Amino acid sequence: MQGKKGRRARGAFAAWQTVLKQQQRTYLDFNATAPLRAEAKAACVAALDLTGNASSVHTEGRAARAAIEAARACVGVLAGVTARGVTFTASGTEAANLALSPSIVRAGEGKPVERLIVSAGEHACVLRGHRFAADRVDIAPLTRDGRIDLDALERLIARARGPVMLALQGANNETGVVQPVAEAAALVHAVGGVVVCDAVQLAGRSRCLMGELGADLMIVSSHKLGGPKGAGALTALSDALVLPAPLVRGGGQERNLRAGTEDVAAIAGFGAAAATALSEEETEAPRLLALREALASQVRASAPDAVIFGESVKRLPNTLCFAVPGIEASTLVMGLDLAGVAVSSGAACSSGKVTRSAVLEAMGVASDLAGGAIRLSLGWSSSEADIARFGEAFEPLVKRIRGHRAA
C-alpha cells in the first residue's frame, strides 16, 4: 500500500491497535457480549484454514461441512435437541426474525397461528423483529417483580380464540429475572399454540433444555457464550412444526431455512463455546451466584439505599441490576468506565440519548429510579478480583457524587 491513502489506512489501524493495549480493566458486561473463550478462538482459527465450501462434495468441502456439523451437534446438546433441530443464523436477532412468523403451522393440522403475544420485557429483536401485522400483536404485561403476568396471558389467549404464538424470554437481559416459560407454555399449548423462547441469556448460565422449558422454538447466540460474534441459531424440538419461509433465499443451505455460504469459522467457534459451557454446567452457576452476591454486598456497603430490581424472584446467577436513588445511570457508567470498570446502563441508548428502560417501566418502577439503573453481569472469566476492583471504584465514586451534591 503506497502514498497518502496507504499512510491513512495504516494510521487508522495503528489507532485501533492502541485500544487493545489499554490498562487492565474489569469487565462486568457479559449480558452484552462475553470475551472470546480460548477454545472458541482456537476453533475459529482452525476453521479459517479450511479451504472448501461446505456445499462442495470434494474432500475440502467435506472438511468444512464436518466442522459445521460438529458445531451443530454441540449446540443441539446445549439446547436439548437433535442436530437436525439446529438452524444456524448470523445472530440471535436473525433467528428471532426467522421464527416470529404467522406462517408457522403444526404438521398435519394446517391451522397457522394467527396472533402473536409478546411479553412486555422482550428484547428489541423480538418486539420489533416479528412478521405479524401490527393489529395481530398483543403485549402481555409484567408483574412488579418482572415476570410475565400469567393471568393476563391467559386472558389474551382466550380472547384470541385460536392458536397463538407466544414470544417469551428465558431470562431478561436487563434484570436477569427468570421467566415462567414452562407455565406459560402449558397455557399456549392447551389451544394448539406455539412458544418461541429467547434463551440467549440462559444458555451457558442456566439449564436451557427445550423439553424442560416447554418451548417449541428457541433462540441462542454464540457471543453470549464466549463464542465469536456473527453466529446464532434457531433450535426446534421436533419436526412437529412446519417452519416459516426463509428470510434469506438462495442456494438452500440450512435445510432451505437460511441460504448463503455458511460462516464456517464463526459456527465452529460457536460449537466450541457451547461444548465448553456444557463441560462447566454443574459448577458455573453456583460460582457466578457467589460472585453476584459478593457484588450485591459491595453495592449495599457503598449505597445502603440502593434498589436491586427483581430481587424477590429467581434471577440469572450472573446478573445484578440496581439503582442508587438520586444518581443517574450515565454518571455511574461513565465514572466506573474512567476507573477501569465496564458496566452498562439498564436503560436503552439511541442516538446518544439515554431513555427510560421499557423493562423497568413495564415493572412499574418510578421514572426517577429507573433512570439510575445500571447492570452488572458476570461470566466465564469473572473472578473475585473483579468484584474487589468494582468495590474499589464504586465506593469512592458514590461518595464523590453525593458529596458534590451535598456541597
CA pair distance 283, 303, nearest whole angstrom: 31
CB 80: neighbour CB atoms within 10 A? 18
Q: 125, 197, 208, 349: which one is catalytic?
A: 349
Residue 321 annotated in active site: no
End-to-end CA distance of the chain: 57
> Under DSSP, is residue 96 helix (H, G, I), strand (E, B) or coil?
helix
Sequence-distant (≥ 6) Cβ neighbours of residue 324 within 8 angstroms: 303, 305, 306, 332, 372, 398
Q: Answer whether 88's CB lies under 8 Å from 248's CB.
A: no
Q: 461513565: which residue's cell?
A: 334
Task: Calculate the alpha carbon distances from 172 to 121, 181, 311, 331 in Å.
Answer: 7, 12, 13, 24
Is the four-CA dihedral 169, 171, 175, 177 of positive or negative sign? Answer: positive
- The catalytic site residues sit at 349
